[in-house]
Amino acid sequence: MTDTRVDVLVWGALNPSLMANLEQHYRIHNRAEITDVASWGREHGYKISAVVTSGVLGTEIEVLERLPNLKVVCSFGVGYDAIDVAYLGDRGIALSNTPDVLNNAVAETAMALMLCLTRRISEAERFVRAGQWPTGKFPLGRQLTAKTCGIVGLGKIGKTIARRAAAFDMNIAYYRRGQAYPGVDYTHYDDLKALARAADYLVVIVPGGADTQHLIDASVLQALGAEGYLVNVARGSVVDEQALVAALQAGQIAGAALDVFENEPHVPQALMTMDNVVLAPHIGSGTQETRQAMADLVFANLRQFFEDGTLITPVQ
C-alpha cells in the first residue's frame, strides 16, 4: 500500500505528545539526524511540504533552500525571531506560531520572578540550607504593594502581567512608542527612559528581533536607578547583557530577575555570583498545561493547513 502521508521536517526535540501526533499522521524527517545537508537535500528535500520547529530552534536558510516544495512552517512558541520571516514571505511559505495559550504561564513566571527578587526568596533559601539561620537574621526584603510596575511591551502577555501586578496593589505604567493604547487606563510613556525612571520594577515582554536588539541598554538601566529592579521574560537579545552586568556590579540598579539570556543556555559567570540576581532557565511558558496547549495548537495548525490551506494562528 502506498504511503500518502505528507512529509514533515521536524527541527529538533519537541513536546512528546506533539511528536507522537506528528509520527502518527505524517512521515517525519528529523533535522538533528541530518549530517550532510547537501546530500540529504538532493535525496529528500523535494519531498518536504512542512517544517515544524520552535521559537528557540528556529530554522536555517541553508536547509530551507533545499526544500523546493515547502509550503508551511509551524512553530512551537509565540516568539519567532529565530525564523527568517522575510525569507518565508518571499517564497510564499506560510508561518504559524502559538500565541495566547501561554499568556497566563508567562505572566505567572514574571510575577514569581518579581516576588523572588524583591522578597529575596532564592537568597533566603540559600541562607537556610547553609545553616546560617541559627546564627543570624536574614536581611529585609521589599514588598510589591504600592510600587510601580513598568511594563515594556503591553501586548497580550503584557496586559496579563499588568492585571496580576494590579492584584498586588501595584501601580501600572507601560512603554509604547507614539500614542497610548485606546481604552487602556494604565499610565503611558512614549519615552523608555522616562518609564524606567518612574518604575520600581521594569518588566520586559517585547518580541525579540532586530527592532528590539539591546532595547534595554546602559542608558535605560541608568534611568532605572539604584532602587530599581529589572525583570526580563522576553528574549535575551532585548537586554544588553554586558551593560546589565556592569550596572549590577556598580550598584546602578538594585537587582535583576532573568528568565532569558543573550547566549542561552550559557549564562555569564558574573551573574552567577550575585545574590541580587535571580536566574531561571527560560521557563516562562514551562507548565504542563501550557506546553500541552501549545503542542495541540501546532498540530491543529498543521492539520488545518493541509485540509483547507489556512492556519488558525498565522503570523501575518
Tell me if 19 sits within 8 A of 10, measured CB to CB: yes
Catalytic position from the list 31, 66, 176, 235: 235
Helices (H), the chain: 16-25, 37-44, 61-64, 85-91, 103-118, 121-129, 156-167, 192-198, 218-224, 241-249, 269-272, 288-308
**Per the residue annotation, which of 60, 119, 264, 303 is the catalytic one?**
264
Active site residue 262: no
Residue 235 among the catalytic residues? yes
User: What is the layout of strands, in order, in the sheet containing 7-10?
Assistant: 27-30, 7-10, 48-54, 72-76, 94-96
Question: Which residue, chain included where needed, has cell 535605560?
Answer: 220
Retrieve residue 295's grid coordinates: 503542542
Q: Is 60 a catalytic residue?
A: no
Q: Give the C-alpha separation, 300 to 293, whole Å.
A: 10
**C-alpha angle 229-230-235 in degrees, rounded to nearest 5:** 170
**77 is written with which cell numbers?**
512558541
Cell output for 78: 509565540
Nearest to 164 by CA among 103, 116, 117: 103
The catalytic site residues sit at: 235, 264, 282
